[in-house]
Structure formats: C-alpha cells, structure tokens
Homo-oligomer: A and B are copies of this chain.
Amino acid sequence: MATNAPNPNFRLETPEGDDRQRQVCGTCGFINYVNPKIVVGSVVTHGDKILFCRRAIEPRRGFWTLPAGFMEEGETVEEGAMREAREEACATIEIDGLLAVYSIPRISQVQLMFRARLVDSAVAPGPESLEVALLGWDEIPWSELAFPSVKWALEQHRAMLAGATGPFGNPPGTLYR
C-alpha cells in the first residue's frame, strides 16, 4: 500500500561532501533530500469581491482559504497559481504580480502569493472545495479562515490597494518555527 509514512529502512546519515544528515535508505542507498516545498496561490479579485474556497479536505476541512497549493514540476510559479485556481474554484485567472513571499519553517513551506483577477465570473467548487464564494471585505469569515497566511495575504492585499508597496514578507512576529 502506498504511504508517505516514515520508512523504517531509512537511517540518518551525512552523505559524502554534504554537511548535514539526510534520510538514506539502508537497503538501496537512495538519499531522500528534503527541501522546503513551494505553495503557490493568489488573492483573486472580481470587482471589489475576493474569491474564497471552503476546504473539502484536511487539514482544516470546512474552513475558508484562498486558492493555493503545492507547486508541481514542469510549471512556473504563475502557472502553478493559475492551476490551483482552476482546480479548487474552476476559475480562470490572470496574474497581476507578486503579493508576498512567506517563509513557514515549522512546516517547511515557502508560500508565493500573487495578485490576480478573475477573467470571467464563472466559478464553482472543484474536488478539493466544498463551496466557493466571491466575498466583499465586510463578508470575510475571519474566524473561519483555514490558515494564518490567508489573513496575512488578505491584509497585505488591502494595504497594497491603499498604496503600500509590495511584495511583502511574513508580518512581524509570525515566523513560526
């Protein structure tokens, strides 16, 4: 059965020429280099509304998020953000620019968040969403947001609309390790 659980054959070992321990398979010598993963997503606007998705999957099932997910091989960061909007909200978007780069060392993620616009207003939940919604600022369900970085991106997006210069990094005091 396929699993991503820790493999008992792996042991910690410092490969030749390296300076830190890696998981090395004791059977075949495969080195499992683990580097931070990239999450790409966007604050997608349509007029003065923002596109939200209610998560159909764990973690944080039932909570609201922005269209975002793990970047895959063979795509650019912008293409990844566009793919996530398509997969999670059946949305076709146009990228305007980089909003923020967040480092989240505790879970080994770097999140690249873009500013984007809906090309047309047709949106619908994809397989990973329970529902999608276009919400005004006063309609945002702040207490039901899935992740801290959703709030950061929303607030920094609003700051940019008010004239602040981006792109932004982690807000002060949010560097969780």
Contact = CB atoms under 8 A, between A and B. Distances in A.
The copy count of this chain in the complex is 2
A31 interface: yes
A1 B26 CA distance: 9
Contact of A72 (B16, B20, B101): B20
A108 interface: yes
Interface residues of A, number: 48
Contact of A2 (B24, B74, B78): B24
B16 A2 contact: yes
16 contacts: A2-B15, A2-B16, A2-B29, A3-B29, A7-B28, A9-B28, A36-B38, A36-B71, A38-B38, A38-B110, A71-B110, A73-B105, A76-B170, A77-B110, A101-B112, A110-B112
Interface of A: 1-5, 7-9, 13, 15-16, 20, 24-25, 27-38, 70-79, 98, 101, 103, 105, 108, 110, 112, 167, 169-170, 175, 177
